[in-house]
Amino acid sequence: MIDTVIDTDFWKGRSVFLTGHTGFKGAWLSLWLNKMGASVTGYALSPPTVPSLYELCRVGELTTSIIADVRDLSSLKAAMIQAQPEVVIHIAAQALVRDSYQMPVETYATNVMGTVHLLEAVRYCGSVRAVVNVTTDKCYENREWAWGYRENEAMGGYDPYSSSKACSELVTAAYRRSFFASSRSHALTPSPAVAVATARAGNVIGGGDWGKDRLVPDCIRAFLKGEPVHLRNPDAIRPWQHVLEPLSGYMLLAQRLVQDGAKFADAWNFGPEDQDARDVGWVVASLCKKWGSGAEYTIDDGIHPHEATYLKLDCSKARAYLNWRSRWNLDTTIDAIVRWTKAYQDGTNLRQVCMKQIDEYEASLFR
Ligand SMILES: NC(=O)c1ccc[n+]([C@@H]2O[C@H](COP(=O)([O-])OP(=O)(O)OC[C@H]3O[C@@H](n4cnc5c(N)ncnc54)[C@H](O)[C@@H]3O)[C@@H](O)[C@H]2O)c1
């Protein structure tokens, strides 16, 4: 077992190119990287929601923020060459399953060709040493079994979003073999200094997510309006985890890619513990209880698009080789979301609230 932790010294002054910094995960990661002293260039479309964590925490002030499209190869290349990053973290995506049914072409263009463009830009930017491409647990072929999925299991994906993320995985593996450092590389002209990995996480939740058709944001919107939550699929089980959990995995992975290169250039799962795979009804009941008066829910019996049944990630590899494991259980996570949202309701400085929650999470890393 390697004794690895997120190393502030590693990130201090490190140049990071982060796509998707205006979104939910990207805004949290920008704050965390900024806290550690990294120099972040963000590349993304405008925030996908109103309100947004990006605007509420004034993330643009802490990053060199470029509002542009990953479908535009020349713009992406120019931005990366200008930034000269050592670490690239690719988070930008059309991230909603339901929208992928409405906009399959845009979803594939962003999630698949966006990945191709990102990796092309890396090829032409001599400064990059590590790339982490963020995909999802939904990239696996769902065999509807009870065992956790390991990183070497087949790619699949039922709906356009999930399959686009599986494609993003395949694109990354092909680029790694063809152009970048890999123990199995057959590249004629590889860039051995670049180590490229992918990261697959579960259903990520946390304060500041306003995404549509997502359970926790739907609940928060209803609570703030004093209306009941209408639940679809209360029995559906999902692998819930606080947003800081996979983000800690992405940072640990990036560190190891820079330090040990090809050894870590592979796929990695960063999922919650088994007991945090809970059904939707349990999560909403717990949110209502912690929120207190005015929070209640009803069951919506309408017909809804297919969503894959529960798929569990086996995270043994991240535990063994990155010393990564889940630190906040679902109860702590829901508590943090309620505290964050009450602070939003009270008009508190939300950047400070996020930084405090990052402090609390960091403290749990050393326990
Ligand atoms: N939230 C989750 O539960 C979850 C779970 C697993 C994986 N993921 C993955 O994590 C990543 C971030 O998810 P999120 O919840 O923060 O999503 P989000 O919708 O909040 O943010 C998406 C980001 O991508 C940017 N973006 C979208 N299309 C773009 C384009 N064409 N060009 C440039 N930027 C574009 C948006 O502007 C935004 O910054 C995605 O890759 C998603 O697939 C999310």
- At 198-232, the pLDDT tens digits run 999 989 999 999 999 899 999 999 999 999 998 88
* C-beta separation of 173 from 108 below 8 A: no
This model's pTM is above 0.85: yes
Other CB atoms closer than 10 Å to residue 347's CB: what's the count?
A: 7
Euclidean distance between CA atoms 270 and 318, whole angstroms: 7
Say which range, 34-48, 167-181, 189-203, 314-328, has the weakest mean pLDDT.
189-203
Q: Give the residue, out of 66, 91, 171, with the most ligand 1 atoms within 8 A of its beta carbon, to mutate for a pocket test.
A: 91
Residue 362, domain member (yes or no): no
Residue 246, domain member (yes or no): yes
Residue 355, domain member (yes or no): no
Residue 192, domain member (yes or no): yes
Q: Give the residue, out of 18, 19, 25, with the most ligand 1 atoms within 8 A of its beta carbon, to mutate for a pocket test.
A: 25
* C-beta separation of 41 from 83 below 8 A: yes
200 to 4, 112, 269: CA distances (angstroms): 20, 16, 5
Exposure of 114 in the CB half-sphere (CA atoms within 13 A): 28
Q: What range defines the domain where residue 22 resides?
A: 9-203+241-275+309-329
SS3 category, 65: strand
Beta carbons within 8 Å of 299's beta carbon, 6+ residues apart? 230, 231, 234
Residue 346 backbone phi and psi in degrees, to 5: -85, 0
Q: Residues 309-352: pLDDT tens digits?
A: 678 899 999 999 999 999 999 999 999 999 999 999 999 999 99
Pocket of ligand 1 (CB under 6 A): 20, 22-26, 44-45, 48, 69-71, 91-95, 110, 114, 134, 136, 201, 203-204, 211
Residue 77, domain member (yes or no): yes
Residue 235, domain member (yes or no): no
Euclidean distance between CA atoms 272 and 34, whole angstroms: 25
What total number of domains does the chain contain?
Answer: 1
CA angle 80, 62, 257 (to 5 degrees): 50
For position 93, which CATH number holds?
A: 3.40.50.720
Residue 106, domain member (yes or no): yes
* C-beta separation of 252 from 244 below 8 A: no
302 to 81, 230, 305, 326, 334: CA distances (angstroms): 49, 10, 10, 35, 27
Residue 172, domain member (yes or no): yes
